[in-house]
Amino acid sequence: MAIQLLAGKRGVIFGALDDQSLAWKIADVCHQMGAKFTLTNAPVALRMGALQELAAGIGAEVIPADATSIEDLENLFTKSEEILGGKIDFVLHAIGMSVNVRKKKDYTNLNHDWMQKTFDISAISFHKMCQVLYKGDHMAEWGSILGLSYIAAQRVFPDYGEMAESKALLESFARSFGYHFGEKNHVRVNTVSQSPTMTTAGKGIPGFTEFFGYGDNMSPLGNAPAEDCANFCATMFSDLTRYVTMQNLYHDGGFSNMGMNPKLLE
Ligand SMILES: NC(=O)c1ccc[n+]([C@@H]2O[C@H](COP(=O)([O-])OP(=O)(O)OC[C@H]3O[C@@H](n4cnc5c(N)ncnc54)[C@H](O)[C@@H]3O)[C@@H](O)[C@H]2O)c1
């Protein structure tokens, strides 16, 4: 049996689409560690995905919410508090989508309407989520809010399109809201910058398979697997990390601090 690190904790998990999703793995680990939580995704993803299967397996309720809609978010957190029987201790935002990336648009030829949509779904939704949690007083004292990011926020990855700026915006929202939430009721807000991972969103990036191998060789520990990301996120939701806030935390096998790995030349 897993350590009951999250016994008694109530949470909300966004973004589990299928069993490859980072959020799916995180939900699995949080469940094993004793947490109770609701699961949510966009209505369209609920029709296409397998979320009900995950929910049934772990006895969680699914509440549909488009993360760009304030109304949906208000409904989600109000209902989650009712279902879980109290304020929320942890929230995972694992949401990303870019039509430009999906359609393999070159960075020098992006469609700006799609770019706005990317920012709205992948980054502004994080601010909306935090604002609804803040104004509705939904978070418990010493709660923990996490978003998932990628190192393209700091370094250039040419095929990542405007998702790079989207992640930079996400990390900045987390930092800024971390101040407001910390002052309000000791809630911490962080982002976890994860290695490339074979998921629906990941595989949508042109050249992802080659890049996955490059990341694996560059990182002294290799790419961090989704299961380990889940363990790390669970630690961030636990009481063992109460004073970590306003940080972008690399969970990447060391990739972010490497310049060159001779393994790549072999
Ligand atoms: N896969 C990687 O290589 C990698 C690396 C670092 C960070 N991340 C980040 O991890 C997070 C989760 O992605 P993933 O790789 O598990 O892929 P995924 O495709 O399984 O998850 C993306 C999720 O976003 C949801 N979503 C899209 N639009 C939405 C909306 N309007 N409202 C609510 N939900 C919406 C999708 O339904 C899906 O469940 C994303 O933020 C992604 O950028 C992924």
Q: pLDDT tens digit string along 183-194?
A: 999 999 999 999
Distance 201 CA to ligand 1 centre (A): 6
Percentage of residues in the chain having pLDDT higher than 70: 100
Q: Which atom of ligand 1 is nearest to the CA of 22?
A: 16
pLDDT at residue 49 tops 90: no
pTM: 0.98
Distance 16 CA to ligand 1 centre (A): 8
Read off the pLDDT of each residue in 44-48 and give the average, rounded to a whole number: 89
Read off the pLDDT of each residue in 233-239 and give the average, rounded to a whole number: 98
Cα distances (Å, whole numbers) of residue 189 to 41, 148, 246: 21, 11, 6
pLDDT band at 137 (very low <50, low <70, confident <90, very high): very high
Read off the pLDDT of each residue in 33-46 and give the average, rounded to a whole number: 96
Q: Which residues line ligand 1 (CB under 6 A)?
A: 14-15, 17, 21-23, 41-42, 45, 66-68, 94-97, 121, 148-150, 194, 196-197, 199-202
Judge whether 150 counts as a catalytic residue. Answer: yes
Read off the pLDDT of each residue in 111-125 and give the average, rounded to a whole number: 98
Q: Which atom of ligand 1 is nearest to the CA of 150?
A: 6
| Beta carbons of 18 and 200 less than 8 angstroms apart | yes
Neighbouring C-beta atoms of residue 221, cutoff 10 Å: 12
Report the CATH superfamily, name and number, of domain 10-265. NAD(P)-binding Rossmann-like Domain (3.40.50.720)
Distance (Å, rounded) from C-alpha 78 to C-alpha 73?
A: 8
Q: Spell out the long-range contacts of 262-265 with Cβ–Cβ below 8 A and sequence spacing 24 or more.
A: 263/217, 263/218, 264/214, 264/217, 264/218
Distance (Å, rounded) from C-alpha 259 to C-alpha 31?
A: 38
pLDDT band at 63 (very low <50, low <70, confident <90, very high): very high
